[in-house]
Amino acid sequence: MADPQGISDDSSEEAEEDEEEARRIREGFIVDEDEDEEDDDDDEARHRRRKRRKRRHRRREEEEALEDDDLELLEENTGTSFRNRLTRLRRGPEGGSPPAASTSKRKQVVESSEDDLDDEDLPQVRDIQHIWDDERAGGGREDDEDMDDFIDYEDEDEGAGAMDEQEREERRRERKKRERERRRALGSRPELAGIDDVAWDEIHGVFGDGHDYDWALLGDDEMEFEEERLKPEMRYQDVFEPSEIRARMLTEDDDLIRAQDIPERMQLATSSLSQSSTLSLHQNLTEADLDDAAMWVTVRLSPRKTRDFFSPDGPYNMYREPLVMAVTYALRFLFVQEFEVPYIWTHKRDYISYFNPQEMRTRVQLISLAELWRIYSLGQKYRSLAQRRNALALSYTRLGVEDEYFEQTIRPKIDSVEVVTDATEWLTMSYKLKKQDAFDFQFHDDEDQPETRKRKAPSRISAYEVAKKSIVSKLADGFGIKPHEVVYNFVAQENAHFVDDQELNPIAFAEQFTDPDATVAQPAEELLRRARMILATELGKDPLLRQAMRDLFKTDALISVLPTERGMAKIDEHHPYFNFKYLHHKSITQMMDTPQFLHILAAEAELLVTVSTFLTNEAKSKFERRLNDAFASDSYSDTARAWNEERSRVVQEALEQHLIPVGVKWAREWLREEVEDTLAAHCGNVLRERIDVAPYITPEMKPGDTASVLAVSWGKGDPQKDAITLVFLDEAGRLREHIKIDNLVDRDYQDEFTDLLKRRRPDVIVVGGLSMATTKLSSKVRSLIKGEPANPEQTANGADGWGSSEAPREANEQAFNIPVMYVRDEVARMYQHSKRAAEEFSALSPVAKYCVGLARYTQSPLNEYAALGHDITAITFEDEDQHLIPKEKLLSALERTLVDVTNKVGVDINRAVNDSFYQHLLPFVCGLGPRKAQVLVKKISAMGGNLINRDQFIKSSLLTTKIFLNAAGFLRISRDPEVKPVKNRHADDDVQDPLDDTRIHPEDYELARKMATDALELDEEDIHDEHPSHVVSVIMQDADNERKLNELNLDEFAVSMYEANEDRKRHTLNVIREELLKPFSEQRAPFPSLGPWDVLTMLSGETPRTLRMGLIVSILLVRLETTLVHIRLDSGIEGVIEIGYLTEDGNIMPKDAVKKGQTIQGVIVDVKLDLPADQFFVKVSVRQSDLRAGDGLFRCVKRDDHWNLPQFERDLEMQARKKRAEIDRTRRVVKHPNFHNFNATQAENYLDKQQRGDVVIRPSSKGVDHLAVTWKVDDKLYQHIDVTEINTGQGGTLLVVDEKHQYADLDELIVNHVQATARKVEELMAHEKFKQGSEDELHLFLKNFVAANPAKSIYGFTLNRRRPGHFNLCFLANKNSTVQTWPVRVMPESYCLFDAAVAGVPELCDAFKVR
């Protein structure tokens, strides 16, 4: 900050500056030195005015500037120097980069004095003197002289110590002299010579010199520069929607998942296929946790495992300890070393199998692949349990208490999340007061806080807490034993703690605790009840008792179902819920393996049934008896028996109020989860059957080869709209040809089809479609392939579907040996409309994309399903139950199957990088996932898109260590046959290794090389100078390699390895031998051919359940023949009616019985399926005798074996009675113009548009001796009057209302009752005290009136909306009182205020005032 006094006012210096400034302003261009000196005096006054303006501006800035003390304070707190910032701005090199943005968040302020405002570095406003300046020639140097007159602080500071004022002046004069000589050399500009001094003065007086506001412009430019410099960089988060960022996996969590050296699926809380997959924030298990975890997991693997291995008479009881050890190894691999399931199953199988060096011939598979996945799921649950247990231990420590029962009894038995929750609740209940006090800290120097009046908060204190704080807790102690001691006796099944008997009986003992104050005293019975409640609550909250109750429900619970009123009507015998409509006492263990319970919960959610879960009487009694034995006294006195009765009541209350409700709630959730898991696993197994199959190959092809496929489809099969689409994919899966033909009947189209076959020679032809017309296409393709002529009879009558009349052609001159088959098309149907298909084949029609899907499925079922991603849940794996599985659970089960099969097959990494379709398999490789696969592909592409060996994964930093160990054995690098194997050991590292094209893990390469060396009977010296894997290449190419490898004693080799390093490699050695013989051999089942029902369901949607004998269906008569009628079902399946099934007589001609195009009902007699001949048809009968019986027997849903037959029959009878009563009610007719067969709702809807007082007479639901009269009181307000008809015994009837009013007929009732009441209502509504609207609105009016008139009271009337035809009289006595409401009943002849009847409204008001 410049000091105001520091600015020099030296007269000589100022004179020099004024001379130059005057010349510049006067002349506007450079003149010689003599002329310059003559005009000095004329311009001096103007220059002084300008300097005064500058000084005023400088003083304003200095007044706003910081003082030195402020600067020192800023420097002390920020560590930044704010002094010496008055250096001149220097011009940087042209085109230079802008100053780098400061890393500090604080703005860097550029400070300068006002003298710097004329600096050439700042934007200059060109004044009138420079309007003709030639910038190209002069370069703006006219201003430099003026600039030189400013103080240059940097120059002066540099030489301040060695240069005095005189030297400075000499230097300045020298600089001016050189500048004048330069300007003289430039020549003069004569254009401004005619402007004299007076004119210049006038110009400056009017317009100024153009620099008056430079300081303001300088501030704007600096502000804009600062804003631009400090503007944050644009990020993709600022551009894209969060949902789009998540879809592209670009969130911070995604980046973290990519970076961490942990398998991706292990980092996620849900399936990687899920669109909402989230990062799992868990703590891994440690070695110290494994023993406890192994026991916890082993006993929960499966009931069968527990029975076989842990029962004394189990067949595998001797392998119990090896099983626990195998589970321990599995948990270590999964949760400590973080290896995924496929890695363990493939490369560490010996550790989860029975391995005994002394019994190498004994092979026992301790853990299956499905059980290994189960161990992974249970391990995740145990990990969560461990975290919760640690949190509970921390909470207990914070309480600062020592509870022997908790530490020694409860804590060792915490083996589930539920027990953790119960223990937390128990601690909270036991130490709630201490927990509150623990946080009420008060320090000695805290000021006393004044008491502030607060609103009373709602109380959350339970009845238990109130009783516990009262003297009743002393009474509870008198029961002689503490609740936790009772639980200890119960768990130990022996009485370690005994009861201290009281001398007094319970009533007498309780009377000691009654309050002496008779006004607040409670009877002894009430005190005992509250004491029992304390003990029952403490027993009911005990974690161990609750766990015992859950265990009891797990084995002995029963489930019953009853329909609601809505369910009775909606669930008929054909409804899918009818199976369990009256389910009765079905054991929970019988519902584990069926989806029935999920359907029950769905029905309950639809409010159709109520579900009850309870214990068997025997189990409940046994539990209650055990708890009573643990609580009761052993004495036989009357007093002891009385106390035991009280204790028995405590036990019963604990069961009913606490333990059983906990068990019921838990059993429902536990059973639901178990059934969902079972159903999801079943869907995963169905998927495994569909994808764990090899690509289609012909008998001539070798396993591992890929067939070229021609896919043919007719779409929906409409001859008028749909063409036949043919798509050919070559062996590499590339689309090579796509054509459309109108039909396969015309000669030209047949020739085009055969030309395609000759040209492309497909290995297989697959047929698919969206209707039953596809069978005709398949039949035609087969006939053309075989070279058979078309059937003349079919062609003549148009049975081929195209209706061509072309003459039959001769046998084809060339037949093709190409198989024709149907393939499953569910994936192709999804693919044709998918975004993926649009991106890959945007020019193809939907049917052509469908054909591409068919062909790809034939070439690789696994790849097609893997490419579906999260849409895989749209595929149906379980017809009726799949929708009941939560989507996340289903995705996890399906993903595990995809992971298993993908790693079983292996993925060619180089092909995955270059083939986007094949790349869909990469995320399912062990250790990878969508994010890690994505970044791996990008890295390899950046390297050139091709890897030579597996070493590059590590050397080129493509994979981190743990991911490499997981994935390496499943990522194959196919060998290039053109590259010869390298023999030299010292060859370049980037060479092919034959082991990289096998399932052998790199950590086992040495074993493979050793095995190859031994099989070839070579010594170490023989291969010393060769490439380590050269022997592997030799054994692979050896013609007798199978014999040589089989001669090796692998058992002995495995034993020696175990004895040397405790390595278990027996199974690994088998894998190595198989891989050396057949690298990445095909291990999947052959490609399956579809069965007849599979094809029929695919084309028509019919299943054995919907198309079977006895069902009545709708049929269309298509064609009539002499002895047959050809028909078609709604699903497109064709069929016939034989003449014997046409009529009862059986000998009437079809044309005389039915007509073509007619739609009638028929019953299915037979279903004929002949897949090789493409024949799918049904036989139908339309005889009345067959139709009369109906198909209810075939369509009705089977009842469950546990059926509540008595309740079912009672409800049937009740529904029949209701139906009869409804019929009787609707049949009743009363001859009166106001009578309508309406119910209450219909009557109100009818009166909605009528006038007030209008009436509807209708039947009553109370029976045939009642009528209902509905009349309109007001808008949306109707009164329903019950009228009883009494037979007088003389042929007449009497109409009675409210047992008080009697009328001879309906007209009299309407006039003397309804209309009289309506008049009374109208009269009161017309009174000035009546207010329209709700009662709340009237209350608000009364309050506002009294607030405005505090000395007055007010009342008013309003309609009672809850009791139509009645009024409410509301009044407010004064502003401090509350609004009172009195009912006013309207009678035909009077108003009734309470019991007082008055004739009119004035009398009603008087009666109110009197009361």
Q: Over the stretch 935-967, which tens digit does the pLDDT of each residue have?
A: 999 999 998 888 998 999 999 999 999 999 999
Pick from 227-236, 855-864, 1247-1256, 1297-1306: least confident = 227-236
Segment 1154-1165 shows an average pLDDT of: 90
Contact 1103, 1133 (CB under 8 A): no
pLDDT given at position 1219: 78
pLDDT given at position 687: 94
Q: Cα dihedral sign for 279, 282, 283, 287?
A: negative
Other residues' Cβ atoms within 10 Å of the Cβ of residue 304: 9
Instruction: Give the orientation angle of helix 887-905 with respect to helix 660-691, to 10 degrees.
Output: 40
1059-1076, pLDDT tens digit by residue? 888 888 888 999 999 989
User: At residue 1089, does pLDDT exceed 50?
Assistant: yes
Strand partners, 738: 727
pLDDT given at position 982: 56
Query: Taking every pair of C-alpha atoms in the chain, what is the biggest distance, in angstroms?
Result: 150
Pick from 688-692, 1133-1137, 1375-1379: least confident = 1375-1379
Q: How far apart are CA 443 and CA 277, in angstroms?
A: 48
User: At residue 124, does pLDDT exceed 90?
Assistant: no
Segment 1266-1289 shows an average pLDDT of: 87
User: At residue 188, does pLDDT exceed 50?
Assistant: no
Give the helix ranges, DSSP H, for 1265-1400: 1306-1309, 1316-1325, 1335-1348
Pick from 111-125, 374-388, 838-852: least confident = 111-125
Contact 1137, 1057 (CB under 8 A): no
Q: How far apart are CA 416 and CA 1379, in angstroms?
A: 56
User: At residue 421, does pLDDT exceed 60?
Assistant: yes
- CA 1248, 1250, 1256: angle at the middle one, nearest 5? 85
Pick from 354-358, 516-520, 1276-1280, 1334-1338: least confident = 516-520
Other residues' Cβ atoms within 10 Å of the Cβ of residue 702: 7
Please return the burial class of 1316, using the count of CB atoms within 10 Å of its CB with bins 0-12, 13-18 and 19+.
middle
Local confidence band at 74 (pLDDT 50, 70, 90 cut-offs) = low
Q: Which of 745, 743, 758, 736 is nearest to 851 (CA)?
A: 736
Q: Give me the amino acid identity at 1401.
A: V
Segment 585-590 shows an average pLDDT of: 92
Local confidence band at 15 (pLDDT 50, 70, 90 cut-offs) = very low
User: At residue 438, does pLDDT exceed 50?
Assistant: no
Q: Which of 1371, 1357, 1268 is nearest to 1320 (CA)?
A: 1357
Q: How far apart are CA 307 and CA 299, in angstroms?
A: 10
Segment 102-125 shows an average pLDDT of: 40
Local confidence band at 226 (pLDDT 50, 70, 90 cut-offs) = low
Count of positions (residues) in the chain? 1411
Residues 6 or more apart from 87 whose CB is under 8 A from it? 153, 154
pLDDT given at position 137: 41
Segment 456-464 shows an average pLDDT of: 65
Structure tokens at 1050: 């692998």
Q: Give me the amino acid identity at 593.
A: D
pLDDT given at position 1180: 93
**Helix/strand/coil for 627:** helix
User: At residue 810, does pLDDT exceed 60?
Assistant: no
Structure tokens at 1101: 């949607």
Local confidence band at 924 (pLDDT 50, 70, 90 cut-offs) = very high
Q: Give me the amino acid identity at 1264.
A: V
Share of the chain above pLDDT 90, in %: 33
User: At residue 1094, does pLDDT exceed 50?
Assistant: yes
Pick from 116-125, 325-334, 1104-1113: least confident = 116-125
**Helix/strand/coil for 1114:** strand
Local confidence band at 778 (pLDDT 50, 70, 90 cut-offs) = very high
pLDDT given at position 542: 93
Q: What is the mean pLDDT of the chain?
A: 80
Q: What is the bridge-based pairing of β-strands 1293-1297 and 1277-1287? A: antiparallel
Local confidence band at 121 (pLDDT 50, 70, 90 cut-offs) = very low
User: At residue 476, does pLDDT exceed 90?
Assistant: no
Q: Cα dihedral sign for 1384, 1386, 1387, 1389?
A: positive
pLDDT given at position 520: 60
Tokens 């009563």 map to which residue? 1221
Local confidence band at 53 (pLDDT 50, 70, 90 cut-offs) = low
Pick from 54-58, 85-89, 1068-1072: least confident = 85-89
Other residues' Cβ atoms within 10 Å of the Cβ of residue 1394: 11
Segment 977-1005 shows an average pLDDT of: 74
Q: How far apart are CA 1330 and CA 1349, in angstroms?
A: 20
Structure tokens at 1335: 């009662």
User: At residue 907, does pLDDT exceed 60?
Assistant: yes
Q: How far apart are CA 267 and CA 250, in angstroms?
A: 16
pLDDT given at position 965: 94
Pick from 94-103, 524-533, 1112-1121: least confident = 94-103
User: At residue 336, does pLDDT exceed 70?
Assistant: yes
Other residues' Cβ atoms within 10 Å of the Cβ of residue 172: 15
Segment 1164-1185 shows an average pLDDT of: 90
Contact 216, 49 (CB under 8 A): no
- CA 223, 227, 230: angle at the middle one, nearest 5? 135
Share of the chain above pLDDT 70, in %: 79
Residues 6 or more apart from 181 whose CB is under 8 A from it? none
Segment 768-784 shows an average pLDDT of: 91
Q: What is the 3-state secondary structure (H, E, C) of 709-725?
A: EEEEECCCCCCCCCCEE
User: At residue 452, does pLDDT exceed 60?
Assistant: no
User: At residue 1190, does pLDDT exceed 70?
Assistant: yes
Q: Which of 143, 150, 156, 159 is nearest to 58 (CA)?
A: 150
User: At residue 26, does pLDDT exceed 70?
Assistant: no
Q: How far apart are CA 4 and CA 7, in angstroms?
A: 6
- The listed range with the strongest mean pLDDT (37-51, 769-783, 1223-1237) is 769-783
pLDDT given at position 547: 94
Residue 1148: enclosing H or E segment and its boundaries? Answer: none
pLDDT given at position 1374: 84
Strands (E), 503-568: 557-563
Strand partners, 907: 971
pLDDT given at position 115: 42
Local confidence band at 323 (pLDDT 50, 70, 90 cut-offs) = very high
Q: How far apart are CA 148 and CA 13, in angstroms?
A: 12
Q: How far apart are CA 742 and CA 789, in angstroms?
A: 19
683-711, pLDDT tens digit by residue? 999 999 999 999 999 988 888 888 999 99
1221-1233, pLDDT tens digit by residue? 776 655 667 888 8
Pick left, alpha or beta for residue 116 (phi over 0 → left; psi -120 to 50 → alpha; otherwise beta): alpha
Higher pLDDT, 131 or 510: 510
pLDDT given at position 131: 42
536-558, pLDDT tens digit by residue? 999 999 999 999 999 999 999 99
